[in-house]
Structure 1
């Protein structure tokens, strides 16, 4: 029985984190698009919020989620294809999705918390072994 060198095992874990990040970011992108379409199409889908610091018109929130979703999906596909720009883009897009869903908390609290958790997991997966050199 042969053992794999440590660098090969570490590289496979890092690659697995990148692939998982790409898949999750793509799925988050699609879900953000659906969330945005629901907010744009029907303003009465989501509950009305009273006084809230980050209160926008629901149509504006819908367009924000729609744009974030499309870009996140494209970056997620870039991650799966191994594009160099996609790792930085993935971290940035996941952070923007987390921030947008934090501000979206009063409208759908449980869903927003779930998306925030997945977004943080994507950031962790993409940053896990970012600067590690494999030989």
Structure 2
């Protein structure tokens, strides 16, 4: 009997998928907060070891983190509803989020570390067991 195109049976891993979706929404919120913090620090002056003062603007970083946060949260909601496009988008965005947080780890180490760990969990849950929630 062919079951081609049939939805995979739900296992206990469905909880991990929902966890991944919730973490994705939470990661989006954290990214948004990262963006707000970067905007608040956008005119910071840093003193280099050589004694030279450098003004650093995190404004564009803050805006991009805020946009990323909104898109991550939207993808998480789509994953909860079982949409394949949302799962693909969520995996792509989680990978980009990891790369972005690695790039700016020195600016916000604690927030970045939290987001990186949560993104890796999301990627695993969606890649390994995402088809269990597929509706379309």
TM-score bracket, shorter-length normalisation: 0.7 to 0.9
Match of 1:110?
110
Following superposition, the deviation at residue 116 of structure 1 comes to 0.7
Following superposition, the deviation at residue 84 of structure 1 comes to 2.0
If each structure's strand is expressed as a fraction of its own residues, which one has the higher value?
2
Taking the aligned partners of 2:115 and 2:105, their CA distance within structure 1 comes to: 10
Following superposition, which runs of at least 4 residues in structure 1 exceed 4 angstroms of deviation? 46-50
Taking the aligned partners of 2:17 and 2:89, their CA distance within structure 1 comes to: 12
CA deviation profile, 1:20-42 (whole Å, cap 9, x unmatched)? 11100000001111110221244
Taking the aligned partners of 2:131 and 2:107, their CA distance within structure 1 comes to: 38
* Structure having the higher Rg: 2
Secondary structure of 2:42 counterpart: coil
**8 Å CA contact retained: 2:32, 2:69:** yes
Change (3 A) 1:89 1:20: same
1:62 and 2:66 correspond: no
Following superposition, the deviation at residue 107 of structure 1 comes to 0.5
Match of 2:32?
33
Structure 1: segments with no counterpart, 5+ residues: 1-6, 51-55
TM-score by length of 1: 0.76
Secondary structure of 2:12 counterpart: helix
Match of 1:96?
96
Following superposition, the deviation at residue 131 of structure 1 comes to 6.5
Following superposition, the deviation at residue 114 of structure 1 comes to 1.9
Change (3 A) 1:70 1:13: same
**8 Å CA contact retained: 2:17, 2:130:** no
Taking the aligned partners of 1:25 and 1:49, their CA distance within structure 2 comes to: 36
Following superposition, the deviation at residue 15 of structure 1 comes to 1.9
Change (3 A) 1:47 1:16: farther
Alignment of 1:1-135 (within 5 A): 8=9, 11-43=10-42, 48=46, 57-130=57-130
